[in-house]
Amino acid sequence: MKTYIVGNWKLNFNVGEASIYLHKLLKALPNYRDIDVVVAPSVVALQPLSLQVDRHKLKLAAQNAFYRDYGAFTGEISFTQLRGIVDYCIIGHSERRHIFGEDNKMIAKKMAAAIRNKITPILCIGETESERAFGETADVIRDQLIGGLSEVADDDIEKVIVAYEPVWAISSTKAAKLATPDEISEVVKLIRKTLTEVYGMKAAEKIPVLFGGSVSPANAGAYLTVPGVNGLLIGGSSLILSEFADIIETAKRVKA
Ligand code: PGA
Is position 243 annotated as part of the catalytic site? no
Q: What letter represents residue 117's amino acid?
A: N
- Nearest ligand 1 atom to the CA of 170 is 5
pTM over 0.95: yes
Which protein residue has the closest C-alpha to ligand 1 atom 3? 235
Tell me the CB-side half-sphere exposure of residue 249, using CA atoms within 13 A: 11
Measure the CA–CA gap between 33 and 48, rounded to whole angstroms: 25
Of these residues, 127, 131, 151, 165, which one is catalytic? 165
Q: How far is the CA of 198 from the centre of ligand 1 (A)?
A: 28
For 223-240, what is the mean pLDDT?
98
Q: How far is the CA of 49 from the centre of ligand 1 (A)?
A: 22
- Nearest ligand 1 atom to the CA of 216 is 3
Pocket lining: 210 vs ligand 1, CB cutoff 6 Å? no
pLDDT score for 196 = 97
pLDDT score for 145 = 98
For 210-223, what is the mean pLDDT?
98
On whether the CB atoms of residues 21 and 29 are closer than 8 A, the answer is no
CATH of domain 3-255: 3.20.20.70
In the chain the beta strands, taken as DSSP E runs, fall at 3-8, 35-40, 59-62, 88-91, 120-125, 161-164, 209-212, 231-234
Q: What letter represents residue 160's amino acid?
A: V
